[in-house]
A and B are shown apart, each in its own frame.
Chain A
Amino acid sequence: MQLICGANGGNMDRRKFILGSTSALTGGLLLPGIVSSAVAQDLPAGAVASGILDALPGKRPLIKRSFRPPNYETPVSYFREAFTPNDAFYVRWHTGVPDIALADWRLHIAGPGVKSEREFTHDSLRRKFKTVEVAAVNQCSGNRRGLFNPHVAGVQWGFGAMGNAVWGGVRLKDVLEDAGVTASALEVVGNGADAPTLTGPDFVKSLPMWKALDPDTLIAFEMNGEPLPKWNGAPARLVAPGWTATYWIKALVDLTVTDKPFDGFWMKTAYRVPKGMFGASGFESQDTEQNSPITAIKLNSLVVDPAPGAVLERGRRIEVLGIAWDGGSGIRNVEVSLDGGKTWRDAKLQRDLGRYSWRQWRYAIKPEGAGAMTLMARAHARDGSTQTDTLVHNPAGYHHNVVQKVDYHVA
């Protein structure tokens, strides 16, 4: 089956897409286990102790990082599915979670970068603009922060501050063009209905015009064919495929097209990486002498099954399942090493679900000798990038994409 997604946005038949994906083939998932011992070794002890499994209303038990605001991580076992179930999808808020009825929801568009102001309801948006779908990984900038050595302050995420979904909505481009983009337009500033508890900075983020006008950038209402859960940004959120989730503003209510760089705290001070450490940001109006905003997701991969620490039966052939993803160039190949990185062999890539989706891979092993066994996995992207062997440490704990070493026990 031909899937059209990525470069030119959605236009795909959702029914085909979802039914055709492996998610439909996966029967009952095992109950999510305790955070794997491998992660527990690397996370701060306090994060392990307070990282209990807890279910928010409408969600399955996820790994609780904080109760309020709710920050909940998806157990890695859910990544066996090509698309992450909505009720297992991770949750990340900086402040309280708005709960807006669809009928009351308004989207307001204004600013010096548009010719005329606009206000839309859900109905008027959907009536006026074409609905499209894009499959894309949504990954928190701070995913794997908890694995940093030395540790850095922040929400201490393990591997699960991410998920893969089919996002459905209207193109941001179509909506902006309806309001008329002026020649001076520089950034599109997105604001959600969430608000700081006291006087702290409101969570507001901007996108450069090129990214805002990318046909894959959406105002999404749906996730995997269902309305967005409130925990994941209902009624509408921005979807900026390939970029970390900090830009995917949830409970979106305001878009301001500016002619100056937006200088709110969460743009100017937070979500920054040292200049040049991870290449060009692609967001020049936000670059400073010292640092750049974190933008595109870095190439990464993850072993999903068997879980680290699993006991494997000697002489029995099994398939290791993993995933690999990047900021949108797509996965070229994934290699696996069983001898500590001396030799590498290609894993079998599974179906391509679009360049912003993660790509599942499989690799058959037949453990022979009893005792400890280590598997390493490393992805290569179509843009020529690969994963790092040693952590590129940075103050806020972003872009952890160190080649994973997974320990098993053969018996």
Chain B
Amino acid sequence: MSHKDAVRNAITSVVLSASIATAAADETSIRLTEGPGLTQVQASCSMCHSLDYILMNSPFQDKAAWEKTVNKMVKVMGAPMTADDVTAVVAYLDSHYGKVAPTAP
């Protein structure tokens, strides 16, 4: 175990979860739009950060951009998601938080 891991385990784990718990009281106020796929989004996308990461990044990502984001969360950040989860989550994000088509002049 590295020095870093030692410090992490010894010191931060307890307090870290405590500080997250404090913040978590507030993140329960986040409401995402109802719709198919919401359950998967709530399960997959709130593990490492609050769901406002989705809200603030809307509505300017098209389906391809949301797909890229979700794939990054899986491949780089380590989100444990099945291929079906990914499909459902991308479809949900695109229909509720996707790029709004420019209105006709």
Across the interface, which residues of B come within 8 angstroms of A70, CB to CB?
Answer: 23
Within 8 A of B (CB), among A133-151: 146, 150-151
Q: A46-B57, A50-B30, A200-B77 are in contact. Are A153 and B69 (CB under 8 A)?
A: yes
Q: Which residue of A lies closest to B72 (CB)?
A: A153
Would you call B80 and A198 a contact (CB within 8 A)?
yes
- Judge whether A265 and B76 touch: CB under 8 Å: yes
Question: Binding site of B, secondary structure by majority: helix, strand, loop or mixed?
Answer: helix
In the bound assembly, the distance between CA atoms of A150 and B47 in angstroms comes to 29
In the bound complex, residues from chain A placing their C-beta under 8 Å from that of B3 are 108, 253-254
Stretch in A168-176, A189-197, A345-353 touching the partner: A189-197
A194: nearest residue on chain B (CB-CB)? B12
With contacts A46-B97, A198-B80 known, is A65 near B26, CB below 8 A?
Answer: no
Contact partners of A265 in chain B: CB under 8 A: 76
**Would you call A197 and B48 a contact (CB within 8 A)?**
yes
* Range, interface on chain B: 35 or more
Which of chain B's residues have a CB closer than 8 A to the CB of A269?
76
B56 with A57: CB separation less than 8 A: no
Residue A69 lies at the interface, judged by CB distance under 8 Å to chain B: yes
Complexed CA–CA distance, A68 and B50 (Å): 5
Task: Please give me the residue from chain B that is nearest to A47 by CB atom.
Answer: B56
Tell whether A99 pairs with B15 under 8 Å between CB atoms, given A197-B48, A254-B4. yes
Within 8 A of B (CB), among A35-79: 44-47, 49-51, 54, 56-57, 64-70
Q: Are B11 and A98 in contact (CB under 8 A)?
A: yes
Evaluate contact between A65 and B7: CB separation under 8 angstroms: no
Contact indicator per residue, chain A 80-107, by CB within 8 Å of chain B (1) or not (0)? 0000000000000001111111001010
- Looking across the interface, which residue of chain B has its beta carbon closest to that of A95? B48
**Contact code string B69-94 (vs A, CB < 8 Å = 1, else 0):** 10000001111100000000000000
Contact check, B4 vs A67: say whether CB atoms are below 8 A apart: no
The answer to whether B53 and A66 touch across the interface, beta carbons within 8 angstroms, is: yes
Determine if B60 and A150 form an interchain contact, defined as CB atoms under 8 angstroms apart: yes
Q: How far does the alpha carbon of A100 sit from the alpha carbon of B12 in the complex, in Å?
A: 7
Evaluate contact between A44 and B19: CB separation under 8 angstroms: no
Quick check: B12 and A193 within 8 Å, CB to CB? yes
B8 partner, pick from A46, A106, A193, beta carbons under 8 A: A193
Contact indicator B12/A67 (Cβ below 8 Å): no
Whether the Cβ atoms of A49 and B55 lie closer than 8 Å is yes
**Taking the nearest CB of chain B, how far is it from the CB of A270, in angstroms?**
9
Which of these, B8, B49, B61, contacts A69 with CB under 8 Å? B49
Chain B residues 56 to 71 lying within 8 A of chain A, measured CB to CB, are: 56-61, 65, 69
Spell out A's residues near B (CB within 8 Å).
44-47, 49-51, 54, 56-57, 64-70, 95-101, 104, 106, 108, 146, 150-151, 153-156, 191, 193-202, 253-254, 265, 269
Which residues does B use to contact A, with CB under 8 Å?
3-4, 7-8, 10-12, 15-20, 22-24, 26-27, 30, 47-50, 52-61, 65, 69, 76-80, 97
8 sampled A-B residue pairs with Cβ under 8 A: A44-B57, A64-B26, A69-B49, A100-B15, A155-B53, A193-B7, A193-B11, A198-B77
